[in-house]
Amino acid sequence: MASLSADRVLLLGPLQVIQNGVPLNQPPSRKVRALLGYLAMAPRPVSREKLCDLLWDVADDPRSELRWCLSKLRALLDRPTANRIVADRYEVWIDSGSLDVDAQLVARRAQKTLTDSSPGELRSLLELFRGDFLEGLSVDGAPSFENWLAGQRHRFSQMRQQLLERLSSVLPPESDDRIEFLRECMEVAPFDEAVHLELVRSLLRRGLYEEAQRQINASVTRFRIEGIDSGSLKEAFAAARRVMSKPDVVSLVDTPRLDAISNSPATNARGPALLLLPFTAAPECKADANSITSDIIFGFSKLRSFSVIAQGTALSLRSLTPGTAAALVNAQYVSSGHLRRDGKGYVVSVELIDPKTDRIFWVDEFRCNAEESFAAPPLLAARIIAGLDAEIHVIERNRALLVPPASLDAWQAYHRGLASMSRFTSDSNREAQSFFKKAIAIDPTFSRSYAGLSFTHFHNAFHLNVRESEREIALAFEAGGEAVLADPSDPAAHCALGRAQWLAYAHDDAIRDLNQSVRLSPNYAFAHYSLAFVQAQTGDPRNAIDAADIAARLSPFDPMMFGTHRVRTFALLRLGKVEEAARCAKFVGQSAGDHVHAHAVSALTLAAAGRLDEARAERRRISDLRPDYSFRQFKEVLHMLDDLTDIYKKAARLLEIPE
């Protein structure tokens, strides 16, 4: 380990810089701390342009702010005999030759320590973990940094979990230390079924039967509160009790108590479970394949759209056939993948399997540049999550369409609502509302149903029932609030509330809630799109384009892609890029269906660019959809700033759209 006399940067916990064993006062600026953490982990020099994009999305002069931050870092890290912050006109890096970084040390030694080390070496490495990576740090308005930070936190959380699991496996089964390390592992990985089960087994081995029962009850309750199916965990607990409990204490851990819990309505599974088997790879890619697997499981857990089997359990099932593995954990879907290098890039082949028939539902390949290998796993994982999530929801929607309405459960009713809502007509929107309300009646704690209901009222206020917009806005806001109350960690709930805030002209509150949605799940494409939607009209157009790019990257075949083109159209027009805006506007009109305001965006933008023949064709489409359409309707629905309103007002006169 590093000596106390060396200068150290501690990232595994709150940021600390230690000089000769003495902690230094940390800079109050979050961006200075973020810059230090990023540079300390970078394997090679980082371009100034990339650092500016990473941390200063909204700055007037990001290069000047970067220079200021670097001056603060020099004061913190440079010594009379060692200039550690090195920069030229193009790149910045930290010369870490005389500097110890705890996270780098863990990353270098973890794999060898896991495979061939004594308990003492494992303990020494675990002592470096004082908390989460850069614990307590966040940077508002820097989504790229936040995504990187989330990936690093998950990466080191997984390393810590693996070290704890390894240490618990080499300690004597009955030792007190083993039980304490298992408890610590449970706090790091609270929903890893294998850890819960092993802790109960250890308590039973020690004869601590009452404590084992308390742990069983606590574990099942923890899963229930999070809405995670604990059926396989309860079966494993029951098997452990049968094997390890004494006859005279079986009543302390009797099966009926768990059966009573499993029959509670609150513990009914919401939707399917996905078993993600560990990705395979060539030896040189094995570590990255493990990281991608971990990141996908972590990302799905944050997305909260359906259950995903914990990583420890998935790892133990990797040698079984998909059907056998899925049956053991009651998973309805199994996914697997293979990572390989292709020149300077990574390629991941992914497939989604029906475990009952071994039929492949879906297969795809995902690629990214491998030059910055530390950033590749989170990027690939994000794309794979979006692809799997979209495909599973399509399958679930199609299955729900075959179920008679009277027989729908909450999950199926929710998907029927999504299917109806996506048609964007008044009748289909009313139908969607009835399905969402049915889902809420069946399960009042299912936040996604409230979020769906909020979206239907948003659609009414936005373009389907504008005469009742005030009432619809209030209903959208109410349902969004209920969604957040039902599950404060559901990104869809905060997204619904943010969109309702925007309808009510509470633009700052809307951006706050939408940013919270993105923070909860950086892989939630619709949240990025919604944030872009708001920023394009009433916020920063450059931020809007960045958020739209993320949404398009996460969901390239989204049926709402016309909305992404519309966001870009607004943002580009506000930036004075009229021709680029017109090209985007063409895509809006081509894919907007019966969405009258989208056709209006296309018509008015094309007119503003002088492309009047194309604009008049879109004008005729507007007249077909709504003969009484006026610029006032367009302006009231889209809360545009004056710069955009003035451009479109002139275009409306050219197309003879009445005010």
Contacts of 189 (CB under 8 A, 6+ apart): 157, 161, 195, 310, 311, 312
- pLDDT > 50? residue 576: yes
- Identify whether residues 459 and 517 lie together within a single domain: yes
pLDDT tens readout for residues 554-572: 776 666 677 788 888 888 9
Q: pLDDT at position 559, please?
A: 61
- Identify whether residues 375 and 425 lie together within a single domain: no
- Identify whether residues 424 and 458 lie together within a single domain: yes
Contacts of 185 (CB under 8 A, 6+ apart): 161, 164, 165, 168, 192, 195
Q: pLDDT at position 264, please?
A: 34
Question: What b/e string do you get for 53-87 counting C-beta neighbours within 10 Å, with b at 16 or more?
Answer: ebbbbeeeebeebbeebbebbeebbeeeeeebbeb
Model-level pTM?
A: 0.56
Q: pLDDT at position 1, please?
A: 41
- pLDDT > 90? residue 496: yes
pLDDT tens readout for residues 347-384: 899 999 999 888 899 998 888 775 554 556 777 888 88
- Identify whether residues 179 and 106 lie together within a single domain: no
CB 215 within 8 Å of CB 234: no
Please, what is the average pLDDT of the chain?
82
Q: pLDDT at position 147, please?
A: 80
- Identify whether residues 63 and 109 lie together within a single domain: yes
Q: pLDDT at position 558, please?
A: 63
Q: pLDDT at position 380, please?
A: 83
Domain boundary among 471, 496, 521: 521
- pLDDT > 80? residue 140: yes
pLDDT tens readout for residues 153-165: 888 888 888 888 7
Q: pLDDT at position 128, please?
A: 93
Query: Is residue 393 in a domain?
Result: yes
- pLDDT > 80? residue 313: no
Domain boundary among 371, 401, 431: 401
Q: pLDDT at position 300, please?
A: 83
What band does 493 get if pLDDT is binned at 50, 70 and 90?
very high
- Identify whether residues 390 and 417 lie together within a single domain: no
Give the mean model confidence (pLDDT) for residues 185-192.
82
Nearest to 614 by CA among 569, 573, 582, 580: 582
* Domain CATH for 39: 1.10.10.10
pLDDT tens readout for residues 506-522: 888 899 999 989 888 88
Q: pLDDT at position 259, please?
A: 34
* Domain CATH for 393: 3.40.50.10070
Q: pLDDT at position 254, please?
A: 35
Query: Is residue 585 in a domain?
Result: no
Give the span between the Cα atoms of 255 and 559, in whole angstroms: 48
Query: Is residue 287 in a domain?
Result: yes
CB 308 within 8 Å of CB 191: no
Q: pLDDT at position 507, please?
A: 86
- Whole-angstrom Cα Rg for the chain: 27
Residue scoring higher pLDDT (2 or 305): 305
Query: Is residue 180 in a domain?
Result: yes
Query: Is residue 62 in a domain?
Result: yes
Query: Is residue 480 in a domain?
Result: yes
- Identify whether residues 179 and 247 lie together within a single domain: yes
Give the span between the Cα atoms of 584 and 604, in whole angstroms: 12
pLDDT tens readout for residues 422-467: 777 888 889 999 999 999 988 888 889 999 999 999 988 877 776 7
- Identify whether residues 120 and 211 lie together within a single domain: no
User: In the block, which residue shows the tokens 């230690």?
Assistant: 18
Q: pLDDT at position 557, please?
A: 61
CB 240 within 8 Å of CB 201: yes
Q: pLDDT at position 454, please?
A: 94
Give the mean model confidence (pLDDT) for residues 6-32.
89
Domain assignment of residue 288, given as a range: 273-401
Residue scoring higher pLDDT (88 or 111): 88
How many structural domains is the chain composed of?
Answer: 4
- pLDDT > 50? residue 260: no
Query: Is residue 542 in a domain?
Result: no
Q: pLDDT at position 35, please?
A: 93
Give the span between the Cα atoms of 321 and 318, in whole angstroms: 8
* Domain CATH for 428: 1.25.40.10
Give the span between the Cα atoms of 66 and 32, in whole angstroms: 9
3 state SS for 302-313: HHCCCEECCHHH
Give the span between the Cα atoms of 242 and 227, in whole angstroms: 27
- Identify whether residues 106 and 51 lie together within a single domain: yes
Residue scoring higher pLDDT (110 or 579): 579
Domain boundary among 218, 249, 270: 270
- Identify whether residues 278 and 252 lie together within a single domain: no
Q: pLDDT at position 242, please?
A: 60
Give the span between the Cα atoms of 566 and 590, in whole angstroms: 11
User: In the block, which residue shows the tokens 């530390």?
Assistant: 374
- Identify whether residues 309 and 393 lie together within a single domain: yes
Listing DSSP states for 541-562 in one string gives: HHHHHHHHHHHHHH-TT-TTHH
- Identify whether residues 263 and 284 lie together within a single domain: no
What band does 312 get if pLDDT is binned at 50, 70 and 90?
confident
Query: Is residue 150 in a domain?
Result: no
Give the mean model confidence (pLDDT) for residues 167-171.
77
Of 121-130, 237-246, 295-304, the range with the lowest mean pLDDT is 237-246
